């Protein structure tokens, strides 16, 4: 229906010619432009697809017969249909509500597609919906990019120049990248004013003051800026100055992000100079008033195939046929030029080697100060291909004319001749038509109407009538025809007959309201603005005005550049943009535009050249929708992803483990270049035994199932260098939730692992020393037990002293020997205590060397040193007790005869000795227990220090 409606409107315009309604022509061309550049589908109120244009069929991968007559469900996801979403959408549309948004659909192949769509109900004369039309744009690529960016979450500052100012313009912070670019030190810029980087004429200008006033008002400034480095050499920056707002909503400092574009700017300035020096689009040639060539540009020379020397001094007739050069019309042409008259049109010219060229040209006489023509300048463009197309179109038009309804009427409007096509349209035989008056074909209410009388009045005056007429066919059937009534006059100027050319437009007439409804639906749902081919605004709808914050009178007649960033306007691409539109090229994409008040607005827009019947562009229609919020979200996600790449090692893999890309941090850690690893498998970073293990296979299986993996991993760098990393492997999901690739973020912990291994080795050595100490203490405990037994025996002997005084000397000798033995044991204990103290001292030194990893071991060493000190003190006390016992034994030997009188004192001394020995036993037992505990702690420390990941 869309294509048929467009074709029939075009045919009506061809028949009507120059008298056709300009409004109908605009509607026709506007609708053609939309149909060429938009994917469009139509539904009835039950959701059945009744029409789809080629753009829509290509977008979804259907053939026409596969889709027409199918339900809208054919392109829906099944879960959406069953969720109630479809019912809610269709209910709103059937209530006459327009619906727009982003939707998830499926292609004929089952492949997912995301679209920006506008559902617009078409209303009948009563305002009730009778059909739904949907305009669609493919946004799958944008949605996929957005979804992938959302999977990359953390942020570190991107590698850009960053500098911060207070509101007076004083520098408060700056990063190293900026300092390197400008050649300053940190101390050389902090506290200095921003003007230190500006030329004097800039820093002292009113615009510079306005620049800082705008920042103080909270308005960001962005663009390209010329600055001076420490050598006062120019540096060009692409920069944004962003005011940072406090909790009160007022700016308190300004942050500037900048990129060095010096090289690009210098190249752009050079290119711009070259471009401006070239003649852009037309051929130009100059003649004197006799027709002699004086000058010509390269465009003209290229068009005609000549060099300048070949035509300079030659007459203009070099470029025309011999017949034309000898014709009176050619002489009249140059006479017209010499009179100073302008001439324009399409001309056949002859190039080099007889090449026939059609040109669209203007011959412009140039006048001197006295108003006399002194030369003629001709501007021309090649229209050879257009001329060929026009000739082809004329042939087609002849064929169409042969198939139209044709009739001849006498001056009284009676049919005197008609063709078969007219008879078929009206349902009459040829004989029934002849003699029938045109008035008889009108309905009763139209036969005497003023409009009908005016038509015949104008025909009698010799004026052609072109329009639409409702006629009554056989059986009183209503038929609409588009007709052309051309009067044929006699020699006296009177009307002799009328030639009728007509076409049945009954179906078109009914569809025209439908077409106008579609255009109205577009106007209601989207922002629409029209420009002439130079870019000046002709009109805009309310949606566009609301989006940009203007009234129509504020923009009408203004150039499109009022909506464009000033930096973009100066670029050659912007000039080429309008030149290409003027040539009829179509543009579609995302654009940044500036609304009223300087507000940035991002739009998804199509620029559609509207063509006249000859295929020449006459204006440009832009259809747009606001995507500002989506663009801001995408920018934020992109900044976060870039920040991750700047701060951590990053590498990406496909699901088979092949390397897609890696950043500089990762390449530096592993010692490779990107070219050396791209396309290789992850296994190049692993040992051979690990890559052949079940653990490695399960590792990639888990990632492919979407499981997150993190930890410390052993990897192999370039030249088989051991590398330890702390890493996370992150599965990235596509729009359907399926894993599409793996991203790994990591940082190098090789030095930390090496330090832990050193601590583990030292801990094992210390554990061996403590084991020896434990054995020695156990020996002390054994000997102390023996001493305790001996002390008990001495006490027993002392208690029996009264009965065995005769054995006193022998017992005293035994006691003396036991005391000597105790002295030896005490010596061993003292030696062990000294050795323990020395080991604790060495352990403290090693713990200090280990830094943070040796803190726990340092605490254990301190406890061991305290135990050694207590052992040493106990040994000293034992020595004193043994010495006392020796003295008492000596006294016993000397006074054994006085044993009875002094026995009580000896018995008391022996008991005291036994008590001291028991204390030695207890202390030794506690020391053994503590030493064993220290051994366990050291062993645990060594084991924990040695536990590193092996993946």
Question: Is 912 part of any domain?
Answer: no
pLDDT-derived band at 152 (thresholds 50, 70, 90) equals very low
Question: Is 659 part of any domain?
Answer: yes
Query: Residue 692 maps to which CATH number?
Result: 3.30.450.20
Inter-residue contact 503 to 11 (CB < 8 Å) = yes
Q: Pick the last residue of a domain from 709, 726, 749.
A: 749
Residue 664 burial (CB count, 10 A): 13
**Structural domain that includes position 228:** 153-266
Given a cut of 90, is residue 644 above it in pLDDT?
Answer: no
Q: Pick the last residue of a domain from 92, 113, 139.
A: 139
Please write the tens of the pLDDT for every residue from 236-282: 998 999 999 887 889 999 999 888 888 888 887 776 654 344 356 78
Given a cut of 70, is residue 368 above it in pLDDT?
Answer: yes
Calculate the CA 4 to chain-centre distance.
40
Inter-residue contact 725 to 907 (CB < 8 Å) = no
Same domain, 346 and 429: no
Q: H helices within 190-246, ranges in order?
A: 200-203, 206-216
Number of helices followed by number of strands (H, E) in the chain: 35, 30
Given a cut of 50, is residue 287 above it in pLDDT?
Answer: yes
**Quick one: average pLDDT of 178-190?**
92
> Of the segments 78-92, 718-732, 909-923, which one has the largest average pLDDT value?
718-732
**Quick one: average pLDDT of 550-567?**
93
Q: Identify the residue with better confidence: 37 or 499.
A: 499
| Cα distance between residue 539 and residue 619, in whole Å | 11
pLDDT of residue 537: 94
Question: Is 74 part of any domain?
Answer: yes
| 417 Rama class: left (phi>0) / alpha (psi -120 to 50) / beta | beta
| Cα distance between residue 287 and residue 293, in whole Å | 5
pLDDT of residue 951: 44
Q: H helices within 305-426, ranges in order?
A: 308-311, 322-325, 328-338, 384-402, 420-426
**Residue partners of 217: CB distance under 8 A and separation at least 6:** 251
pLDDT of residue 288: 95
Burial class (CB in 10 A: 0-12, 13-18, 19+), 49: buried
- Tokens 């726990």 correspond to what residue? 856
Q: Name the least confident of 19-33, 217-231, 405-419.
A: 19-33
364 pairs with which residues across the strands? 377
Same domain, 617 and 579: yes
Q: Name the least confident of 59-68, 590-599, 661-670, 866-875.
A: 866-875
Question: Is 862 part of any domain?
Answer: no
pLDDT-derived band at 147 (thresholds 50, 70, 90) equals confident
Question: Is 841 part of any domain?
Answer: no
pLDDT of residue 278: 38
**Quick one: average pLDDT of 634-643?**
74
Same domain, 220 and 188: yes
Question: Is 456 part of any domain?
Answer: yes
pLDDT of residue 86: 83
pLDDT of residue 564: 93
DSSP-assigned states of every residue in 829-888: HHHHHHHHHHHHHHHHHHHHHHGGGGHHHHHHHHHHHHHHHHHHHHHHHHHHHHHHHHHH
What predicted TM-score, i.e. pTM, was given to this entire model? 0.36
pLDDT of residue 949: 44
Same domain, 605 and 575: yes
Positive or negative CA dihedral for 375, 379, 384, 386?
Answer: negative
| Cα distance between residue 378 and residue 361, in whole Å | 7
Question: Is 858 part of any domain?
Answer: no
- Helical (H) or strand (E) element with 119: strand 112-123
pLDDT-derived band at 193 (thresholds 50, 70, 90) equals very high
Please write the tens of the pLDDT for every residue from 750-800: 888 878 777 777 766 676 666 676 676 667 667 666 666 666 666 666 666
pLDDT-derived band at 32 (thresholds 50, 70, 90) equals confident
Same domain, 314 and 334: yes
Given a cut of 70, is residue 616 above it in pLDDT?
Answer: yes
Same domain, 215 and 301: no
259 pairs with which residues across the strands? 238
Same domain, 411 and 471: yes
Same domain, 410 and 443: yes
**Quick one: average pLDDT of 609-632?**
88
| Cα distance between residue 469 and residue 474, in whole Å | 16
pLDDT of residue 942: 58
**Residue partners of 833: CB distance under 8 A and separation at least 6:** 868, 869, 871, 872, 875
| Cα distance between residue 608 and residue 89, in whole Å | 29
Same domain, 605 and 676: no
| Cα distance between residue 321 and residue 283, in whole Å | 20
pLDDT of residue 310: 93
**Residue partners of 106: CB distance under 8 A and separation at least 6:** 75, 76, 77, 112, 113
Q: What is the residue-averaged pLDDT of the chain? A: 82
DSSP-assigned states of every residue in 272-331: HHHHHTS--S-EEEEEETTSBEEEE-HHHHHHHT--HHHHTT-BGGGGS-HHHHTSHHHH
Inter-residue contact 56 to 39 (CB < 8 Å) = yes
Question: Is 249 part of any domain?
Answer: yes
Total count of domains within the chain: 6
Portion of the chain with pLDDT greater than 70, in percent: 79
Token readout for 140 is 């799958």
Q: Pick the last residue of a domain from 355, 388, 421.
A: 388
**Quick one: average pLDDT of 581-606?**
91
Same domain, 613 and 674: no
Nearest to 587, CA basis, from 59, 34, 37: 37
Q: Identify the residue with better confidence: 154 or 307.
A: 307
Same domain, 123 and 165: no
Angle at 440 between CA 437 and CA 444, to 5 degrees: 150
DSSP letter, residue 208 = H
Q: H helices within 437-488, ranges in order?
A: 444-447, 450-460
């Amino acid at each position: 229906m869309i294509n048929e409606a467009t074709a029939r409107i075009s045919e009506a315009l061809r028949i009507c010619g120059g008298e056709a309604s300009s409004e109908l022509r605009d509607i026709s061309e506007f609708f053609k432009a939309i149909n060429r550049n938009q994917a469009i589908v139509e539904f009835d109120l039950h959701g059945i697809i009744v029409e789809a244009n080629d753009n829509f069929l290509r977008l979804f991968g259907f053939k026409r017969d596969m889709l027409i007559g199918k339900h809208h469900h054919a392109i829906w996801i099944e879960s959406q249909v069953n969720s109630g979403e479809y019912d809610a959408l269709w209910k709103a549309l059937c209530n006459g509500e327009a619906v727009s948004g982003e939707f998830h659909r499926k292609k004929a192949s089952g492949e997912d597609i995301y679209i920006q769509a506008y559902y617009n109900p078409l209303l009948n004369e009563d305002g009730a919906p009778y059909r739904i039309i949907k305009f669609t744009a493919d946004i799958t690529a944008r949605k996929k990019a957005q979804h992938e960016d959302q999977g990359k979450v953390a942020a570190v500052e991107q590698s850009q120049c960053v500098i911060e100012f207070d509101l007076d313009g004083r520098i408060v912070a700056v990063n190293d990248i900026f300092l390197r670019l400008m050649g300053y030190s940190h101390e050389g810029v902090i506290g200095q004013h921003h003007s230190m980087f500006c030329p004097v004429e800039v820093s002292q200008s009113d615009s510079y003051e306005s620049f800082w006033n705008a920042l103080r008002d909270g308005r960001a400034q962005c663009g390209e800026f010329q600055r001076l480095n420490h050598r006062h050499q120019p540096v060009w920056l692409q920069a944004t100055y962003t005011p940072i707002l406090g909790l009160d909503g007022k700016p308190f400092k300004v942050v500037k992000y900048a990129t060095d574009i010096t090289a690009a700017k210098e190249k752009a300035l050079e290119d711009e100079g070259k471009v401006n020096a070239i003649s852009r689009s037309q051929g130009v040639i100059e003649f004197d008033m006799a027709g002699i060539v004086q000058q010509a540009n390269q465009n003209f020379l290229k068009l005609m195939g000549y060099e300048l020397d070949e035509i300079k001094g030659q007459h203009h007739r070099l470029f025309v046929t011999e017949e034309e050069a000898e014709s009176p019309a050619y002489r009249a042409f140059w006479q017209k030029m010499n009179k100073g008259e302008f001439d324009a049109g399409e001309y056949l010219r002859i190039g080099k080697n007889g090449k026939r060229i059609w040109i669209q040209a203007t011959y412009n006489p140039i006048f001197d100060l006295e108003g006399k023509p002194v030369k003629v300048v001709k501007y021309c463009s090649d229209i050879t291909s257009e001329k060929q197309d026009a000739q082809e179109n004329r042939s087609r038009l002849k064929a169409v004319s042969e198939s139209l309804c044709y009739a001849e009427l006498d001056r009284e409007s009676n049919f005197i001749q008609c063709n078969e096509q007219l008879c078929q349209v009206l349902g009459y035989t040829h004989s029934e038509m002849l003699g029938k008056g045109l008035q008889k074909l009108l309905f009763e209410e139209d036969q005497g109407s003023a409009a009908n009388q005016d038509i015949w009045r104008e025909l009698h005056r010799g004026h052609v009538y072109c329009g639409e007429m409702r006629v009554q066919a056989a059986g009183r059937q209503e038929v609409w025809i588009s007709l052309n009534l051309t009067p044929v006059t006699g020699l006296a100027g009177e009307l002799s007959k009328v030639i009728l050319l007509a076409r049945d437009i009954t179906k078109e007439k009914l569809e025209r309201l439908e077409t106008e409804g579609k255009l109205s639906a577009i106007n209601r749902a989207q922002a629409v603005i029209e420009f002439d081919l130079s870019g000046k605004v002709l009109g805009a709808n309310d949606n566009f005005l609301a989006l940009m914050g203007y009234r129509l009178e504020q923009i009408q007649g203004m150039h499109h550049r009022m909506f464009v960033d000033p930096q973009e306007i100066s670029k050659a691409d912007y000039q080429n943009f309008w030149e290409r539109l003027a040539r009829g090229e179509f543009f579609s994409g995302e654009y940044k535009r500036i609304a009223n008040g300087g507000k940035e607005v991002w739009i998804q827009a199509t620029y559609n050249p509207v063509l006249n019947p000859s295929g020449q562009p006459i204006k440009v229609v832009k259809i747009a929708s606001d995507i500002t919020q989506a663009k801001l979200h995408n920018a934020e996600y992109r900044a976060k992803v870039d920040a991750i790449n700047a701060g951590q090692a990053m590498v990406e893999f496909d699901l088979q483990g092949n390397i897609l890309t890696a950043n500089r941090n990762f390449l530096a850690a592993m010692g490779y270049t990107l070219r050396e690893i791209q396309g290789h498998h992850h296994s190049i970073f692993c040992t051979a035994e690990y890559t052949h293990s079940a653990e490695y296979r399960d590792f990639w299986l888990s990632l492919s199932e979407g499981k997150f993996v993190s930890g410390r991993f052993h990897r192999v760098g370039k030249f088989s260098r051991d590398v330890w990393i702390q890493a996370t492997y992150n599965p990235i999901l596509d729009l359907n939730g399926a894993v599409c690739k793996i991203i790994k973020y990591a940082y190098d912990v090789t030095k930390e692992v090496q330090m832990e291994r050193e601590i583990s080795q030292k801990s094992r050595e210390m554990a061996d020393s403590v084991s020896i100490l434990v054995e020695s203490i156990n020996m002390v405990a054994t000997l102390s037990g023996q001493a305790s037994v001996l002390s008990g025996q001495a006490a027993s002997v002392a208690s029996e002293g009264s009965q065995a005084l005769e054995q006193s000397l022998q017992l005293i000798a035994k006691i003396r020997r036991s005391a000597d033995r105790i002295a030896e044991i005490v010596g061993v204990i003292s030696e062990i205590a000294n050795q323990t103290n020395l080991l604790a001292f060495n352990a403290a030194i090693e713990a200090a060397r280990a830094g943070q990893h040796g803190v726990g071991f340092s605490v254990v060493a301190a406890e061991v040193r305290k135990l050694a000190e207590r052992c040493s003190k106990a040994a000293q006390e034992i020595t004193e007790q043994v010495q006392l016992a020796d003295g008492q034994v000596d006294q016993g030997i000397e006074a054994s005869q006085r044993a009875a009188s002094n026995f009580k004192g000896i018995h008391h001394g022996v008991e005291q000795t036994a008590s001291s020995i028991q204390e030695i036993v207890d202390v030794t037992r506690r020391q053994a227990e503590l030493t064993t505990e220290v051994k366990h702690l050291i062993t645990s420390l060594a084991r924990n220090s040695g536990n590193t990941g092996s993946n």
